[in-house]
Chain A
Amino acid sequence: MRLQLRHVGGLALALVAASDPALAQPEPYAAAAAPAPEAPAAQPAPAVRSNLTGHAGLEYGQYADTDHVFVETPSVTATVSNPTAGWSLGGQYLVDVVSAASVDIVATASRRWTEVRHEGEVQAAYKPKTFGAQATASVSDEPDYLSLAAGGAVTQDLFAKAFTWQLGYGYARDVAGRTGTPFSVFSRTIDRHALNAALTFVLGPTTLASLVGDAVFEGGDSSKPYRYVPLFAPGTSVPRGASIDLVNARRVSARPLEQLPLSRQRYALTARLARRYHLATLRVDERLYADSWSMKATTTDARLLFDVGTRVEIGPHARLHAQSAVDFWQLAYTVSPGFSVPALRTGDRELGPLVNATGGITLRIGLGSDASPRSWTLGFDVNVTTTQYLDDLYVTDRLSTVGSTVLEADL
């Protein structure tokens, strides 16, 4: 049994692959468990075979973009499970080392900075038969941000596993501050409640589909305490992609900090279809998103994975994401007569209209024995994304790449 860790709605919820003791139980164990009335009493007892399995993984990820942001992310995961009993325990630890000299940093006359984030997560799951439950807890710590999260979910297989439902809830409490300033002096708290409902359908011997609904309710001030927003006098012309020099030449001297609304409700609906062919798997995802800040988005993700022999798996990946701007987004915020600044203002271009197009490739090589070639796996993933910012200062596009090298073992 392999455990897979995934983030859910910004909260570190983990979902566990379904386990069916009847299917998972190896034949030798089934024979040993059966009564043996013919066995003489003097015969030595059969060796007790452990039902525990383990899975461990090491990943090293790297990110770079044309906005001079670099991230290195080593991580380690480990899981112990008993497929026969239906339980599993696991954990993950990762470190993000971020080095940035982006245009937003340069625009505020700041120097390149480097920051380290630590994240740990533990999860447990128990699904002895068709009904199961899982729980997870995580902590993320960096010099100016602390996030604590916990969550749980219940799931049930119905109709001979042709249909599965799942309900989940997660809570996160974030504390945002400023680097070098204790949280007791300056901090903001953000609370996040996440609800999740999922349905999985087996559509046939080779086809699987799922429909997932998410609702996330955030409360608190998530404005960045470092992000200054340039203001302009009424009538000032500022073109899309205006340079730092042009913005500085035309803006007024006042430059207030970002101010976002104090609550946000996010809703998403995700459909996923997976189909297995003779030597390939096709996966297509579609996600629709809307929130109370009037952002709407669509994300389409497709992967085609080919088996090349018993040891190699390779395939392309494509992803397209398009989103509209939040309702208080402006290319150039203007001061009103009397020098009053807009109550809501942001310079976060991920809140503006944008389109992301991603292309990538996945390669996995089985390093195990001939009997079990995938028991040890070396994997490489590379994705290149081009982003078009449709209504932003400083930049109109960005090219980024993220790659990872993964070594996994089933023990």
Chain B
Amino acid sequence: MNDRPSAGQHLSSAAPAARGDACFAMRLALLSPLLLLLALPCLGCARVAAYERGSLAHPTMTTLDLARASEAHVRAVQEGAMGGGAAAGGGCGCN
């Protein structure tokens, strides 16, 4: 029993290189999407005439999530970070 490392020692020493890489990858994954968010408002709105809205009216051009009910439910269980799944409505002038 005495030759066992403590739980804290074990956790900090278990494959330190792999844990460091995982930590770096996690931070990179968390920060990189900020670029997309920062770029979005810079794009600006455009007035599109009704006769030009054919593409916007396509069913796949909704701002809602296209996930099916069962898929959305699975996500809610598998991803501890639930919330934020909402989407804006309208804007495309389609029906």
Contacts and interface: CB of A to CB of B under 8 A. Distances in A.
Whether both chains belong to one complex is answered with: yes
Interface of A: 1-2, 4-10, 13, 15-20, 22-24, 59, 61-63, 71, 73, 75, 83, 92, 94, 96, 127, 132, 155, 157, 159-166, 168, 194, 196, 198-206, 208-214, 216, 232, 234-240, 266-274, 276, 281, 283-289, 291, 295-300, 303, 305, 313, 320-324, 326, 331-332, 334, 348, 350-354, 356, 362, 374, 381, 383, 385, 387, 390, 400, 402-404, 406
B86 to A, nearest CB: 4
Contacts of B10: 237-239
A204 B52 CA distance: 9
B4 to A, nearest CB: 5
A299 to B, nearest CB: 7
B68 A381 contact: yes
B71 A381 contact: yes
Given A210-B91, A298-B33, A322-B30, A404 B70 contact: yes
Interface in B23-44: 25-26, 29-30, 32-34, 36-37, 40-41, 43-44
B92 to A, nearest CB: 6
Of A92, A216, A271, A305, chain B has the most CB atoms within 10 Å of the CB of A271
B37 to A, nearest CB: 5
B11 to A, nearest CB: 6
B88 A236 contact: no
Contacts of A303: 66
A236 B95 CA distance: 62
Interface string B31-66: 011101100110111111010111110111111111
In order of increasing CB-CB distance, the 6 nearest A-B pairs are: A268-B84, A61-B70, A18-B90, A198-B88, A200-B91, A297-B81
Contacts of B73: 7, 61, 73, 96
B30 A8 contact: no
Contacts of B32: 298
Nearest to B80: A350
Contact of A286 (B4, B33, B53, B72): B33
A3 B9 CA distance: 55
Contacts of A291: 81
Nearest to A215: B83
Contacts of B37: 211, 269, 271, 286, 288
A6 B92 contact: no
Contacts of B76: 7, 10
B69 A94 contact: yes
A2 B59 contact: yes
A18 B68 contact: no
B70 A63 contact: yes
A132 B88 CA distance: 13
Contact of B78 (A155, A205, A400): A400
Contacts of A402: 70-71, 74
A284 B37 CA distance: 12
Given A159-B45, A204-B48, A18 B83 contact: no
Nearest to A4: B64
A387 B87 contact: no
Given A10-B76, A73-B70, A350-B78, A208 B86 contact: no
26 contacts: A7-B72, A10-B76, A15-B64, A15-B87, A18-B89, A62-B70, A73-B70, A162-B47, A166-B90, A198-B87, A202-B45, A203-B46, A208-B91, A268-B83, A269-B37, A270-B86, A271-B40, A274-B62, A276-B61, A281-B61, A283-B66, A287-B85, A298-B30, A324-B30, A350-B78, A385-B78
A272 B80 contact: no
Contacts of B59: 2, 374
A287 B84 CA distance: 7
Contact of B55 (A6, A75, A206): A206
B78 A240 contact: no
A324 B80 CA distance: 10
B6 A201 contact: no
Contacts of A159: 45, 47
B85 A7 contact: yes
B87 A270 contact: yes
